[in-house]
Homo-oligomer: A and B are copies of this chain.
Amino acid sequence: MKTNKTKHINDTTTEVKIKNAASIVFHKKGFSATRTRDIAEEAGINLALLNYYFRSKEKLFDIIMQESMQGFFKSLKEVLNNDKTSLENKIETLVNNYIDLLTANPDIPLFLLNELRRNPDKLISKMGMKEILMESYFIKQFQQGIKKGMVAPFNPIHFMMNLMGMTIFPFIASPVMKGLGDLSDKNFDELMMQRKSLIPKWIEAQLKTK
């Protein structure tokens, strides 16, 4: 089998080339619309190689999905659980991180959300979603804020919906937004940069609104 890695001293392994290609194509077209041949072409390899390295389209997809998912939620996990930063700082950091991430990879959220709908339970529970938020240091700070009267008492999931909605949605709906606002790609990116500082202010105004 493929135990020996010393073969490819040059460049990247064929396996990695395939994974990178698969990532690009899957992200852009989703599972059903991508042909294994598309991936092979993108990777510059023969179709059979794909089935040689990964047993099937499904298997390859699962790997890409898993990694994309982890990549996406890694930042969320880390920031929410940092016990050295304030609530305000967490908001700023999250917004900044995600706007940067999505400006560079605008296809990821729609990809994830689509494929999550295909089988919600498996991936959601596997990622330990519940723990990410509800058992985070952030939640403690949020509750504290409520107790002290600094934060209006509402379900923290509303907060996440607002933060993610304002941050992520514009990327998902970018064609609509560009259409509505008559924006060029450059205009759009500029607006998103502005939002790095705007969204935290808006969120903080919300937190105090009762």
* Cα–Cα, bound, A161→B146 (Å): 28
A186 within 8 A of B: no
A166 within 8 A of B: yes
In the complex, residue of chain B having the shortest beta-carbon distance to the beta carbon of A169: B165
A12 within 8 A of B: no
Chain A at the B interface: SS class: helix
A172 within 8 A of B: yes
If A114-B30, A114-B110, A191-B158 touch, whether A130 touches B176 (CB-CB below 8 Å) is no
Residues of A whose CB lies within 8 Å of any CB of B are 29-33, 110, 113-114, 116-117, 120, 124-125, 127, 129-130, 132-134, 154-158, 160-162, 164-170, 172-173, 175-183, 191, 194-195, 198, 201-202, 205-206, 208-209
In the complex, residue of chain B having the shortest beta-carbon distance to the beta carbon of A133: B180
- Is B157 touching A180 in the complex (CB atoms < 8 A)? yes
* Cα–Cα, bound, A83→B180 (Å): 19
- Is B202 touching A177 in the complex (CB atoms < 8 A)? no
| 8 Å CB contact of A177 from B161, B175, B206, B209 | B161
* Cα–Cα, bound, A134→B180 (Å): 7
What chain B residues lie within 8 Å of A116 (beta carbons)? 175-176
